[in-house]
Amino acid sequence: MPLPFIPGAYLILIGLGRFVEEHFRGEPQTACFRGLRLYQWLAIAFVVCGAAMTAVGGPPAAPADEPPGVAVASILAGLMAVTYCAFGVDFPGSNRRFSRLV
């Protein structure tokens, strides 16, 4: 694959997912323009930029070196732990801002 195709495909997929997510989010304080929320317009811009990037030619991407299986497992476990702590952990005894989900 050409090198610009990879981030272009990422932008297209992120933009499509974000567009649908923002439709269901329903935050009343988000500004609306022509019937779409601001973040939906940004998602459309992501898709357009991603489409432009996939249309551009470039050098082929270098083949990736395969890391050892233990390294992949530990990296995935670390990412899962960080994601769990960032999005799912409630700290009820803390008084820091945004520490409680209730």
* 13 and 47 fall within a common domain: yes
The residue segments making up the domain with residue 16 are 1-62
pLDDT digits (tens, 9 = 90+) for 56-72: 888 887 887 777 778 88
Q: Cα separation of 50 and 31, whole Å?
A: 24
Give the number of domains in the chain. Answer: 2
**Residue 34 parent element (H or E):** none
* 56 and 6 fall within a common domain: yes
pLDDT digits (tens, 9 = 90+) for 9-60: 999 999 999 888 888 876 777 777 888 888 889 999 999 999 999 998 888 8
* 19 and 56 fall within a common domain: yes
* 57 and 93 fall within a common domain: no
* 16 and 41 fall within a common domain: yes
Helices (H), 26-94: 38-55, 69-88
